[in-house]
Amino acid sequence: MEASQGGTEIAPGLSVPDGVLRFRFDRSSGPGGQNVNKLNTRATLCVDLDALAGGLPADVMSRLQRQAGPWLGDQQLVITSHGHRSQHANRRACLEKLRQLIIKARVRPKPRKPTRPTRGSIERRLQAKKRRGDIKRTRQEPGSDGS
């Protein structure tokens, strides 16, 4: 994932300078024996949205912010990973999560085309209404004329 011009390629066609991606490593929670108690393997990636905005169009940035959900903090993305036993693997997992988020945000949703009901469905609906009205009409007392 490393780019040649001194930055990191986080998605196809999107590179950011090395200083933009800030990693922090902490102790993971949960079971795992002595490895969890001794080593700081959980990786937390913080990326400023302003740094990403330079390489992404405005519509992609708005979709990215919508889709980020719980990862979106105060004008930054905060992505954590603690599923692996090493810092390096968790760091790669954070970068992969960011990459997938950006790729998903780049996909422009297909616009919905409003459709109209077919003639057959309209006629079936009207026939069903007529049958239902006839059923209700047969329940009335014989001498009443509905008024």
For 29-41, the pLDDT digits (tens) are 766 666 666 778 8
**Would 122 be classed as within a structural domain?**
no
54: tokens are: 């330079």
Render pLDDT for 43-57 as a digit per residue (tens, 0 to 9): 888 888 887 777 788
**Would 55 be classed as within a structural domain?**
yes
**Would 144 be classed as within a structural domain?**
no
Q: Domain of 77?
A: 7-106
Residue 83 phi/psi, 5° resolution? -85, -10
**Would 121 be classed as within a structural domain?**
no
**Would 36 be classed as within a structural domain?**
yes
pTM comes to 0.65
**Would 132 be classed as within a structural domain?**
no
Residue 135's pLDDT is what? 93
Beta strands in the chain (DSSP E): 7-11, 14-17, 22-26, 42-48, 76-81
What is the rounded CA–CA span in Å between residue 133 and residue 127? 10
Length of the chain: 147
Higher pLDDT, 16 or 138: 138
Residue 44's pLDDT is what? 87
If one counts the domains in the chain, the total is 1
**Would 48 be classed as within a structural domain?**
yes
Residue type present at position 144:
S
Indicate which CATH number applies to the domain containing 60.
Answer: 3.30.160.20
**Would 140 be classed as within a structural domain?**
no
Render pLDDT for 91-147 as a digit per residue (tens, 0 to 9): 899 889 888 888 888 889 899 999 999 999 999 999 999 999 999 999 987 776 655
Higher pLDDT, 15 or 58: 58
Residue 132's pLDDT is what? 96
